[in-house]
Amino acid sequence: MISSKNDKNTRTTGRPTLNEVARLAGVSPITASRALRGVSTVATELVEKVQKAALDLNYVVNPAARALASAQSHSVVVLVPSLSNLLFIDTLEAIHQVLRPKGFEVLIGNFHYSRDEEENLLRNYMAYQPRGLLLTGFDRTESSRRMIEASNIPCVYMMELDSAAGLNCVGFSQLAAGETAAGHLLSRGRKRLAYIGAQLDQRTLLRGEGFRKALQKAGLYDPDLEVLTPRSSSVGLGGELFLQLLATHPDVDAIFFGNDDLAQGALLEAMRCGIKIPEQVAILGFNDLPASAHMVPRLSSISTPREAIGRRAAEQMLTLMAGNTVAKPVQDMGFELKVREST
Amino acid sequence: MISSKNDKNTRTTGRPTLNEVARLAGVSPITASRALRGVSTVATELVEKVQKAALDLNYVVNPAARALASAQSHSVVVLVPSLSNLLFIDTLEAIHQVLRPKGFEVLIGNFHYSRDEEENLLRNYMAYQPRGLLLTGFDRTESSRRMIEASNIPCVYMMELDSAAGLNCVGFSQLAAGETAAGHLLSRGRKRLAYIGAQLDQRTLLRGEGFRKALQKAGLYDPDLEVLTPRSSSVGLGGELFLQLLATHPDVDAIFFGNDDLAQGALLEAMRCGIKIPEQVAILGFNDLPASAHMVPRLSSISTPREAIGRRAAEQMLTLMAGNTVAKPVQDMGFELKVREST
DNA sequence: CTACGTCGAGACAGCGCTACCTTAGTGCCT
DNA sequence: AGGCACTAAGGTAGCGCTGTCTCGACGTAG
């Protein structure tokens, strides 16, 4: 019944199959499969023969067939809240760099800082039976959480640590970053410190919280100087909020911005209006985006290890996907205060 | 032999299958398949029954099995030269927006402006038997070209038009953009016009070429005022090149930058050094990045339809993947000169 | 009332690969 | 010397889905 299948069946892909490789190498298909996957129980000599045959035929596995037979895909889903500020690009790049060489396909989803959209993406991407999930932060819908739980797919959380309870996560303490920001501005002798944050994602809020706590401790907290808006972070918005704040509170002498683009916008508006930075107002940014060091004056900022987080998270994911547990599931990658001219 | 498979076979995914949906709906598996795919030869009544059953069971197709059986994946590969300036993000987003709702999976590859890396990505991604290729520009290795040709996979080229010969492409004329830039600066009465470009990708070169041609026509072309560097485009680099050029050619009175980040860097350095923009030097950018309108002075720029290009390219791809030919394979999406304070 | 075309539904088989089990072969202990 | 654990290779079957062929039911024309 197997005999001759020499007719031109249009259902095939036309590409060489593992069977042909095996035939050419003079081994059974299953041995060829094992040889190419690097399963240990194949003699070195045979492995070489198979590899040569595969090369000769220009063979590449059919991922669909592999996924079907093994009930496992080779894809890892990464969900990020935004691509349009450069924050997550570095992280994504690093993830690619680690995962691609190991044969994993990276599926990127952008949920635009929307919990519902994240849930949607999650639901959609679950269909691909991903081997792993790389998620941003801990703030998500209950359904999302249940879906992740129920799926039993290894999951690494990126960017935050503050609410890591027995989860695998790689990031830094957003709270501590906020405290550091406050500490730095206080050390400059400032008394009227404001926080301006946009997007209002969990991380922005946590940074604000850290900032607030530090100010409370110093007895300098004023809720009026906390400007939060759900609008999305941008240079234009930064300038706008900066001017608004100064108009209503002319005595403000330091501002911590939740993201560098906001701070950059503030610097530009300050220049336009002749407001002296840092003499009148000290300005501190967050994330240390590439342009920040070139602003006038050069923007002080808290530099975040975005690339390192991506790399480490991907490495952790590899460990988890191999069925091992991670020795140190919570990885604090820290952050670094870059003091420049604006403070 | 088929009889009872009631034992817990670990090879299954554990998710509901089409068979179970069919059983619940009281139809044959193949009918269920057709019903869910929207194949026309199924009675409306049955379609509804199947859809209800699928919903009840929370059924989602197994893409691997589908791909294997139909010898067709549902993935589309998009290769872009960079993610780290915002250029291609808008395009990618638009592509996602069009392709995802149609059930296509978007695989993103970043080739970092390297032809070899693009070839590599192409080779790797070919293994997934993508249904379509969305590529950036026409400048690639001969092997890449052959691979694309041989694969017989529909392909849409984005961003450029200038060398579109019978290919499907969506973009705008980079040459014309360069000419427009020159025309604008000339209309401001400038005589010593420079072009500063980085990265040296095909598009940057084409814009330079358009710019040069226009200057030659005006009899104002000076090769010394053409600064090209393979270094990657950034705010810092822009400032650096700007200062260098002014140091060696203090008489320059207008500069067209190949990308806005370079121009932004120039504006910042100019401010730092007290160089009056546009009085001493007019500065024109390219791409109209979000921050440009907020610079001091506000940066004039040529705005490019990045989002529209992505959308249109994806739509074209849908047409091609459906087996149809595109009525208008070359789509010129144009560009728009935004005149602001810097010129 | 019969013949024929059309259309909706099902049976069958197979896409390319790998999990599982079996078999053959090796060395080592009792 | 026989049995046992262990390793290396192969045989078998099936992952979940869809392309293709087949069959039956229905409606219309002669």
The verdict on B167 touching A (C-beta cutoff 8 Å) is: no
What is the mean predicted confidence (pLDDT) over B263-283?
A: 97
CA–CA distance from A104 to each of A67, A73, A156, B134 (Å)?
12, 9, 16, 21
Please, what is the end-to-end C-alpha distance for chain B in angstroms? 81
Give the mean pLDDT of B149-162.
91
Mark yes or no for CB contact B71/A261 under 8 Å.
no
Strand ranges (E), A31-137: 75-80, 105-110, 132-136
| Structure tokens given for A83 | 């691509």
Cα A126 to chain centroid distance, Å, stands at 19
Which residues make beta-bridge pairs with A255? A194, A283
Whole-model pTM: value is: 0.90
Are the beta carbons of B263 and B284 closer than 8 angstroms? yes
Contact B50, B21 (CB under 8 A): yes
Question: Of all nucleotides in the shown strands, which has a C1' nearest the CA of B44?
Answer: C8
Round to a whole number and report the distance in Å from the CA of B1 to the C1' of C4: 40
In angstroms, rounded to a whole number, what is the distance separating the alpha carbons of residues B310 and B92? 6
CA of A99 to C1' of D5 (A): 39
Of A89, A107, A236, which has the smallest distance from its Cβ to B294's Cβ? A236
- Report the 3 state secondary structure along A137-167: CCCCCHHHHHHHHHHCCCEEEEECCCCCCCC
Give the pLDDT confidence of B304-330 residue by residue, as tens digits: 999 999 999 999 999 999 888 899 999
Q: Which of B67, B126, B296 sits opposite A271 (nearest CB)?
A: B296
Which residues face A77 on adjacent strands?
A107, A133
Q: What letter represents residue A284's amino acid? A: L
Asked if A161 and A169 count as a contact pair (C-beta separation under 8 A), the reply is yes
Q: Is the CB of B64 under 7 A from strand C?
A: no
Residue A65 and residue B68: Cβ atoms within 8 Å?
Answer: yes
Q: Any idea which nucleotide's C1' is nearest the CA of A17?
A: C16
Taking alpha carbons only, the member of B153, B151, B156, B150 closest to residue B168 is B156
Strand partners, B255: B194, B283
Mapping DSSP to helix (H, G, I), strand (E, B) and coil, where does residue B32 land?
helix
Strand-strand pairing, B132-136 and A300-303: unpaired
Cβ(B257)–Cβ(B234) below 8 Å: no
Q: Please answer yes or no on whether B291 and A295 come within 8 Å at the CB atom.
A: no
CB B256: neighbour CB atoms within 10 A?
30
Chain B's closest residue to A13, CA to CA, is: B71
CB pairs under 8 A between A and B: 115
Distance, in Å, from the CA atom of A238 to the CA atom of A275, rounded to the nearest integer, reads 15
Note whether A55 contacts B: Cβ–Cβ < 8 A: no
Q: Measure the CA–CA gap between B187 and B48, rounded to whole angstroms.
A: 65
The H or E element that residue B79 is part of is strand B75-80
Read off the pLDDT of each residue in B222-234 and give the average, rounded to a whole number: 96
- Each of the 343 residues of chain A gets a pLDDT tens digit; together they read 223 333 344 567 778 999 999 999 999 999 999 999 888 778 888 899 999 999 999 898 899 999 999 888 889 999 999 998 788 999 999 999 999 988 899 999 999 999 999 999 998 888 888 999 999 999 999 999 999 988 889 999 999 997 777 899 999 999 999 999 999 999 999 999 999 999 999 999 999 999 999 999 999 999 999 999 999 999 999 999 999 999 999 999 999 999 999 999 999 999 999 999 999 999 999 999 999 999 999 999 999 999 999 999 999 999 999 888 899 999 999 999 999 999 9
- Residue B57 touches partner A, C-beta closer than 8 Å: no
Q: What is the distance between the terminal CA atoms of chain A, rounded to a whole angstrom?
A: 81
Number of H helices, E strands in chain A: 12, 12
Query: Is B158 in a helix, a strand, or coil?
Result: strand
Other Cβ atoms within 10 Å of B37 Cβ, number: 12
Q: Does the pLDDT value for residue B40 go beyond 80?
A: no
Predicted local distance difference test score (pLDDT) of residue B10? 59
**Average pLDDT value for residue range B144-150:** 91
* Token duo for residue B52: 């209800």
Write the residue in A61, A71, A265 that is nearest to B12 by C-beta: A71
Minimum distance, in Å, between the CA of residue A146 and any CA atom of chain B: 15
Residue holding tokens 């030919």? B325
d(CA B308, CA B296) in angstroms, rounded, equals: 28
Cα radius of gyration rounded to whole Å, chain A: 26
Residue B2 has pLDDT above 80, yes or no: no
Interface of B with A in 276-335 (CB under 8 A): 290-291, 293-296
Q: What is the mean pLDDT of residues B268-285?
A: 97
Please report the pLDDT score of residue A45 as a whole number: 87
Contacts of A64 in chain B (CB under 8 A): 63-68, 73, 129
The reply to whether residue B84 touches residue A84, judged by beta carbons under 8 angstroms, is: no
**Residue A311 Cα, gap to closest chain B Cα (Å):** 17
Judged by DSSP in three states, B83 sits in coil
Q: Which residues of A touch B60 (CB under 8 A)?
A: 126-127
DSSP string, A238-262: HHHHHHHHHHH-TT--EEEESSHHH
Query: Are β-strands A336-338 and A300-303 bridged in parallel, bridged antiparallel, or unpaired?
Result: antiparallel
CA of B29, closest CA in chain A: separation in Å?
A: 18
Using the CB atom, is residue B72 less than 7 Å from strand C?
A: no
Q: Chain B contact for A214, CB < 8 A?
A: no
pLDDT band, residue B6 (cuts 50/70/90): very low
HSE-up (13 A, CA, CB side) for residue B107: 24
